[in-house]
Amino acid sequence: MIPQISPIELKQWLDEGMQFVLLDVRTDEEVDLCALPGHTHIPMNLIPMRYNELPDDVPIVVYCHHGIRSLHTAMYLAEAGFEQLYNLQGGIDAWSVLVDSEMPRY
């Protein structure tokens, strides 16, 4: 089971300067529209080839548009041996509604 983190909780982690990786698994085109600050971008389809770029000693918060692709990616990473995984509940869309109304929605 992959724990969910709400946009509000993620904002608190960012504000507190907590050490973690913010992994954006959306397409290049989606990232061009909007993205969270300080993210690492690896499109979902490239995760199997590039997950070795991710640290395994800090939490990883995975996000996408609505939270479905990121959940599947987090489950894949868990199978690959990563332990501190979180899925951004509602994805970047929920972030734009609950945290940053200036962020474009699509």
Q: Write the CATH number for 54.
A: 3.40.250.10
To the query of whether residue 64 is one of the catalytic residues in this protein, the response is yes
pLDDT tens-digit readout, 19-31: 999 999 999 999 9
Closest CA to 24 of 37, 10, 40: 40
Query: What's the mean pLDDT in 3-11?
Result: 98
Residue range of the domain that includes 65? 4-99
Q: What is the pTM of this model?
A: 0.96
Number of independent structural domains in the chain: 1
pLDDT, tens only, 41-83: 999 999 999 999 999 999 999 999 999 999 999 999 999 999 9
**Is residue 105 in a domain?**
no
E strand or H helix at 97: helix 91-98
Single out the catalytic residue among 10, 64, 74, 85.
Answer: 64
Find how far residue 58's CA is from the centre of its chain: 14
